[in-house]
Amino acid sequence: MNRTKQKNLLDLVTYLLLIAGGVLMLGPFLWMVATSFKLPADQFTHTLIPNPATLENFRNLFSFDLNFPKLFLNSTIISLLTVIGQMLTCAMAAFCFAVVKFRGRGLLFTLLLVTLMIPEQVTLIPNFIIFKWLHLVGTSVPLWLPAFWGGAFGTFLLRQYFLTIPRELVDAARVDGASLWQIFWRIYLPLGKPALAALAIFTFQGAWNDLLHPLVYMPTVPNTTLTVGLAFFQTQLTLGGRFTVLMAGALLSILPLVVVFFFAQKQFIEGIALSGLKR
Amino acid sequence: MKADVQAIGSAQKTTKKRQGHSAQNRFNTKWGLIFLSPWIFGFFVFTLIPIIATLVFSFTNYSPVTPESTVFVGLKNYSDMIADKNVANSFMVTIKYAILALPLSLVFGLLLATIVNSKYLMGKNFFRTIYYMPAMIPVIAAGIIMAGIMNTNTGFINMGLESVGIPGPDWLNSTFWIYPALVLIGLWGLGNLMVTLLAGMQGVAKELYESAEIDGANGYQQYLYITLPLISPVIFYNLTMMIIGAFKYFDLAYVLKNGTGGPAGATNFYNLYLYKNAFQYNLMGFGSAMAWVLFIIVLALTIILFTTSGRWVFYSGGKQ
């Protein structure tokens, strides 16, 4: 009897702590949303319900010289192209590592996994010089083009999933005269949908949130991404007292990710479970 | 290996079949390389050659502004690194942050993953979503929001502290309080760690818990003797990545203090200082030297962690 009482008390404490922690997690979001609807004069009032509420901050995002729509568009295009490039080339490499056996494949796979551990800083300067030589610095090309030559994380994730697809399907298709490309395109890509969805989400999130690479390749506002733009306008706007506008920008920068996450939460969790890692 | 044995076996039977095998091998090699061609191209042109190029640059005074006056300067960049007080400081900053953040993240991450993994917990998905949300947004956005929350005069944290009579610290402008501030913001984004640990916990076979239950092990014992050992590879992987992550720490330091490294160099993380040298001061030779030192540190850490992992990481099915 005493034991169950103790256990109930422990449960209660756990729930209270979880809820308190949850409030701490959500609090900053609520504050951001509230501030983004406040008048600039009310920016530091400690209320969570804006009174009066206004859409002025969002309008200002579009009228200011920060050219928010352009930043948003740049981030969207770069992220989508990155997703397309990674899905295609990582799937190709993963198909090879899962299905096509040949001498030296094991060595190449080890090499691929080793690249997971290479810090990007050690390749960044020569890559910058290459893109500068190609006159592509200042454009979005250096940000999405590298996605088209695969990557260790995506390849590993997709390979783990492809290995679970029964091999008999390949043999049967071979008997029917299908080429390896057809097997890849018609069998593995459609069956690999859950893993591809997970990769798409990770990749989108990674490209959308990236700061270092846009800072290197597209450093000048307004022809840059949302992250660089927000970092730049943080100094501008807080100095000028337009904190409310900054919060409106932050809110809009988060929105696409929140939407993607809520629609694809299941694939997201499965993807992590699949590879056992998260970038 | 197995394929080789089969190939030899069939060669003894008929030579014709053997030809079929090697034709198959050639076919597979050709197609395998076609499927791998994007990655192989990228690996050579944008990974392997650049790594070597960075090493070469690190022995020069290369600057993209005056490329024509590039000369080899030997080990000068490396000796400059040793002489540069800011480099030493950036090391200290990075290590200080790692020592503070790592244990806290690991403890809270494990605790959180354990709770949201519990089969008795109501509203599991709700809690998982809430705790994951801050980890999903751009670090830039998180930094901007938290800078507002931690504002010395107007932020919610100091308002809360002052309401119970504690004078709030100057979180982002004090060389001491900036570290707790960074750790707190890091803990806000704990969701990533929670989700990977959670995935590890869910990978543990249910039968193990069932048989442990029959043997009379209580929940605490099950956690200590089944869950923790079985997810130790996941913990180990995350630990490795977090240590390496400290040396790649950039976004938050950049956005909170506008890349200045302030207050008084307290956020001048190694990676931030590297970026500034290479891309703001155009000292790409020096930046390359810093990048190679970073590379060697990451390599050394990875090797140390992987060679010692056998002692403290449990792999099911024996050692791997």
Q: Are B181 and B170 in contact (CB under 8 A)?
A: no
Q: Are residues B293 and B234 in the same domain?
A: yes
Q: Per-residue pLDDT tens, chain A, 279 aa: give them.
A: 567 787 888 888 889 999 999 999 999 999 999 999 998 888 777 777 888 888 888 888 887 667 888 999 999 999 999 999 999 999 999 999 999 999 899 999 999 988 988 898 999 999 999 999 999 999 999 999 999 999 999 999 899 889 988 989 999 998 999 999 999 999 999 999 888 988 898 899 999 999 999 999 999 888 999 999 998 888 776 656 678 888 999 999 999 988 887 777 777 766 666 665 554
- Closest CB from A14, A102, A276 relative to B234: A276
Q: Are residues B90 and B210 in the same domain?
A: yes
Check whether residue B277 and residue B233 sit in a common domain: yes
Contact A270, B188 (CB under 8 A): no
Taking contacts as CB-CB distances below 8 angstroms, the residues of chain A near B186 are none
Judge if B53 and B84 occupy the same domain.
Answer: no
Radius of gyration of the CA atoms of chain A, in A: 24
Flag whether residue B188 sits within 8 Å of chain A, measured between CB atoms: yes
For residues B195 and B47, membership in a common domain is answered with: no
Query: Dihedral sign, CA of A227, A229, A235, A239?
Result: negative
Asked if residue B70 is part of any domain, the answer here is no
Least Cα distance to B155 among A273, A31, A177, A154 occurs for: A31
Domain CATH number, residue B158 = 1.10.3720.10
Query: pLDDT tens digit string along B241-287?
Result: 888 899 999 999 999 988 888 899 999 999 999 999 999 999 999 99
pTM (two decimals) = 0.88
Which of B43, B148, B275 is nearest residue A243 as measured by Cβ atoms? B148
In order of A88, A98, A222, B220, B237, the CA distances from B197 in angstroms are 29, 26, 40, 18, 10
**Higher-confidence position of B39 and B262:** B39
Please report residues of A whose CB lies closer than 8 A to that of B49. 126
- B45 & B97 share domain: no
Query: Do B307 and B224 sit in the same domain of this protein?
Result: yes
Out of A11, A21, A105, whose CB is closest to B32? A105
CA distance A26 to B248: 27
With CB atoms and an 8 Å threshold, state whether B57 touches A103: no
Do B82 and B158 have their domain in common? yes
Of B112, B143, B196, the CB nearest to A278: B196
What is the signed CA dihedral for B65, A207, B300, B230, rounded to 10 degrees?
180
Q: Does the interface ipTM go beyond 0.90?
A: no
Is B24 a member of any domain?
yes
State which residues form the domain around B230.
Answer: 76-311
Q: Based on the domain organization, do B144 and B248 belong to the same domain?
A: yes
Lookup: tokens for B39:
């990655």
Are B247 and B294 contacting, i.e. CB atoms less than 8 angstroms apart? yes
B41/B39 Cα distance (integer angstroms): 5
pLDDT tens, B45-94? 999 999 999 999 999 999 988 888 899 999 999 999 999 999 999 999 99
Q: Is residue B101 part of a domain?
A: yes
A-to-B residue pairs, Cβ atoms closer than 8 angstroms:
248
- Chain A: give the shortest CA distance to residue B186, in Å: 12
In this complex, the residue of A32, A93, A231 whose CB is nearest that of residue B254 is A231
Whether residue B207 is found in the same domain as residue B305: yes
My answer on whether B41 and B87 are in the same domain is no
CA dist., res. A58 & res. A249, Å (int) = 8
CB contact under 8 A, B42 and A117: no
Q: What is the domain class of A62-275 according to CATH?
A: mainly alpha
Query: B77, B140, B286: which to substitute to probe chain A, counting the most A Cβ within 10 Å?
Result: B140
* Among chain A residues, CA nearest to B124: A18
B6 and A CB contact within 8 Å: no
pLDDT band at residue B168 using 50, 70 and 90 as cut-offs: confident
User: B149 in contact with A at a CB cutoff of 8 Å?
Assistant: yes
Bond prior to A40 in cis (omega within 30° of 0): no
Same structural domain, B53 and B102: no
Phi first, then psi: give them for residue B154, nearest 5 degrees.
-115, -5
Whether residues B288 and A261 touch (CB distance < 8 A) is answered with no
Instruction: Count up the domains in chain B and report the number.
Output: 2
Q: Is residue B68 part of a domain?
A: no
In angstroms, the separation between the Cα of residue B55 and the nearest Cα of chain A is 9
**What's the one-letter identity of residue B236?**
F
Residue A204 contacts residue A82 (beta carbons within 8 Å): yes
